[in-house]
Amino acid sequence: MLFSSNLDDEVFLANEAQRQEYILNQDGVIYWGTENAVLAQPWDFSQFEEDIVDICFTLLDVGERHRDKDHTQRKNPVYIGRTVAAMLNCDEFRGILTECGTGQYFNGTPPSKWLGSGPILRQWVASQCKPVRYGQCWVFAAVMCSVLRCLGIPTRVVTGFTWAHNTNSSLSVDEYYDEDGTLLTQDKSARVWTFHVWNECWMARADLLPEYSGWQALDATCQEKRKGPSFCGPAPVQAIKEGDTEVDYDVCYFFAAINAKCQVWIQKTDDTLRPALGSTKYTGNNISTKSVGSERCEDITHNYKYPEGSLQEKVALDKAYTKIKELEATSSSSKTQFSSIPTTLEEPVNLFIHLQSKNSLLRGQDIPLSIEVFNHSGGEKSTHLVVGAQSLHYKGVPVTQLWKEEFHLILRSNEANNLQVFVPYSRYREELGEDHLLRLTATLKDEDSFYIYFAQEEISICDPPLTIEFPENMVQYQPSTAKISLLNPLTEPLEKCVIVVAGRGLIYRQRKYK
Q: Do residues 22 and 14 lie in contact, with contact meaning Cβ atoms separated by under 8 Å?
A: no
Based on its alpha-carbon atoms, the radius of gyration of the chain, rounded to whole angstroms, reads 25
H or E stretch covering 390:
strand 381-392
The per-residue pLDDT string of the chain (514 residues; one tens digit each, 9 = 90 and over) reads: 688 777 789 999 999 999 999 999 999 999 999 999 999 999 999 999 989 999 999 999 998 886 666 778 899 999 999 999 999 976 555 689 998 766 677 789 999 999 999 999 999 999 999 999 999 999 999 999 999 999 999 999 999 999 999 887 788 899 999 999 999 986 566 789 999 999 999 999 999 999 999 999 999 998 876 667 889 999 999 999 999 999 999 999 999 999 999 999 999 989 999 999 987 888 999 999 999 999 999 999 999 999 999 999 999 999 988 886 676 566 544 444 444 445 555 566 689 999 999 999 999 999 999 999 999 988 999 999 999 999 999 999 999 999 999 999 999 999 999 999 999 999 999 999 999 999 999 999 999 888 999 999 999 999 999 999 999 999 988 999 999 999 999 999 999 999 999 888 888 888 999 8
Same domain, 84 and 208: yes
Q: Decide which of 425, 442, 460 is a domain's last residue.
A: 460
Q: Are 56 and 150 in contact, with CB atoms under 8 Å apart?
A: yes
Domain shared by 266 and 218, yes or no: yes
Cα–Cα distance between 286 and 278 in angstroms, integer? 22
* Same-domain status, 214 and 228: yes
Question: In this structure, are 114 and 177 located in the same domain?
Answer: yes
- The C-alpha atoms of residue 2 and residue 364 are separated, in whole angstroms, by 50
User: Are residue 223 and residue 297 in the same domain, yes or no?
Assistant: yes
Catalytic-labelled residue, pool 165, 196, 393, 436: 196
> Could you tell me what percent of the chain has a pLDDT over 90?
75
Residue 47: inside a domain: yes
Given the residues 90, 145, 201, 219, the one annotated as active site? 219
Q: Do 310 and 235 meet the contact criterion of CB atoms below 8 Å apart?
A: no
| Cα gap 358→367, rounded to integer Å | 8
Residue 71 annotated to the active site: no
151, 43: one domain:
yes
Q: What is the domain extent for residue 140? A: 16-325
448 plus 470 within the same structural domain = no
Task: Label residue 126 left, alpha or beta by phi (over 0 means left) and psi (-120 to 50 means alpha).
Answer: alpha
Q: Which of 379, 441, 446, 352 is nearest to 408 (CA)?
A: 446
* CATH code for the domain of 126: 3.90.260.10
Distances (CA, A) of 139 to 121, 203, 433: 12, 23, 19
Active site residue 252: no
Residues 437 and 483 in one domain: no
Distance of alpha carbon 463 from alpha carbon 195, whole angstroms: 19
Instruction: Tell me how many degrees the CA angle 272-277-279 measures, rounded to the nearest 5.
Output: 110
**Residues 44, 56, 91, 137: which is the catalytic one?**
137
User: What does DSSP assign to residue 111?
Assistant: G
Could you give the number of structural domains in the chain?
3
- Which residues in 136-291 belong to E strands, given as ranges? 155-165, 172-178, 191-203, 214-219, 232-236, 261-267, 273-275, 281-282, 285-290
Do residue 484 and residue 445 come from a single domain? no
Alpha carbon distance 254, 249 (integer Å): 10
Angle, CA 330 vertex, CA 326 and CA 332 arms, to 5°? 140
**Judgement on whether residues 440 and 501 belong to the same structural domain of the protein:** no
Query: Model confidence over 267-287: pLDDT tens digits?
Result: 998 999 999 998 788 899 999
Compute the distance between CA of residue 370 and CA of residue 418 in angstroms, rounded to an integer.
7
Nearest to 99 by CA among 138, 145, 61, 151: 138
Task: Identify whether 44 is a catalytic site residue.
Answer: no
